[in-house]
Amino acid sequence: MRRTWLIFSQAVTVAVAVLFVVATLKPEWLARNPARVLPEIVTLQTAPPPATDAATTAVAHGYRLAAQRAAPAVVSIAASRAPAGSTQFDDPWFRFFFGDRQRQAQPQIGLGSGVIVSPEGYVLTNHHVIDGADDIEVQLADGRTARARLVGTDPESDLAVLKIDLPDLPTVVFGDPGSLQVGDVVLAIGNPFNVGQTVTSGIVSALGRNRLGINTFENFIQTDAAINPGNSGGALVDVDGQLVGINTAIYSRSGGSLGIGFAIPGDVARDVLVALIRDGRVTRGWIGVEPRDLTPEFAEHFGLPVRQGVLITGVLQNGPAGAAGMQPGDVVVRVGDREVADTRQLLDTVAALRPGTEVTIGVQRRGERLDLTVRVAQRPAQPPRQP
């Protein structure tokens, strides 16, 4: 028995010694896959299952799928305006002495972007891109060009709709801006500085931005995706390549991107699109008042029992609110069944009302709470910024 144990122990010792020598001099002999011998400090992770959602796809492939889906529908827009004429050009003596050379002044050309949203050729862009243009040319990503017809424009939201006639047009799919959250990845697609179609990426930096003095109706998506001159009217898309906004403006001291850009939400753009195609204009409610936010100092000074609402500083004589008995100094706290806390809420709520309908507006008049019945009128085409 003792001899057997001695032989066993010697055999084990020899085997361990051989294993040590092999592991030291020829480690590949012990590896199951000689091609994958790696230092111990490297840890390999098993590849995840095939991507099934946008976030996983983005990790695997970047955002190329989103760009491939949306970019073909993003166009470049050149809007030209004829130079201002002069009555001197109609004077034959002036032409005799100076000729027609001064008539050759170059037209003013504005550059921007747009988004094809239907196979019929409707294109969304910004109002300021085509404002005052005599001729509008659209260039597609595939190189085709077409003259565009202005369907309608809405300066108060800074949106416009064009129409082009070309076959087999690529289109973008509308997404759901309501599902956007701060931190979501977005892509901005357009033609910055006329260098050609460009895709930039960033995140949603903020939602519901307003009081910027850009439009009458403001509810912007803020993003740090690079937006530069020429991007106006282009697409802001999510990681699925769906349209969630129309790029409109930037905050900049240099003229270039500082990482603060603003886009009109896609649902707002869609509503304006439908109204312009159907009616040629956007119909909004209006009551004819001059509002301002109610400050705590004002409320305290006049002993008002409310601390939020909209102070009415002026009422249009014979306007809808004036006819209902509203007075300067009233504080609007409710429109219909919706409470209003600031001027923007009042503006948006009134604008959403159908002209010709009646609405009950709750006001605080010093120490008294009143309900006024106001017949809503149609908002003038380009009035001062007032609800």
Number of H helices, E strands in the chain: 9, 21
- Which of the residues 154, 232, 330, 348 is marked catalytic? 232
CA dihedral 216, 222, 225, 226 (to 10 degrees): 40
118 has catalytic annotation: no
53 has catalytic annotation: no
- Which of the residues 76, 127, 154, 158 is marked catalytic? 158
Task: Quickly list H helices, the chain.
Answer: 2-25, 54-61, 64-70, 92-98, 127-130, 266-279, 296-301, 320-323, 343-351
Spatial contact of 89 and 147, defined as CB atoms under 8 Å apart: no
β-strand 289-293 against 310-315: which pairing, if any?
A: antiparallel
**Is residue 3 classed as helix, strand or coil in its secondary structure?**
helix
How many C-beta atoms surround the C-beta of residue 80 within 10 A?
16
Between CA 163 and CA 124 the distance in angstroms is: 9
Q: State the residue for tokens 């992770």.
A: 45
Between CA 206 and CA 165 the distance in angstroms is: 37
348 has catalytic annotation: no
- Which of the residues 76, 128, 201, 224 is marked catalytic? 128
Cite the active site residues.
128, 158, 232
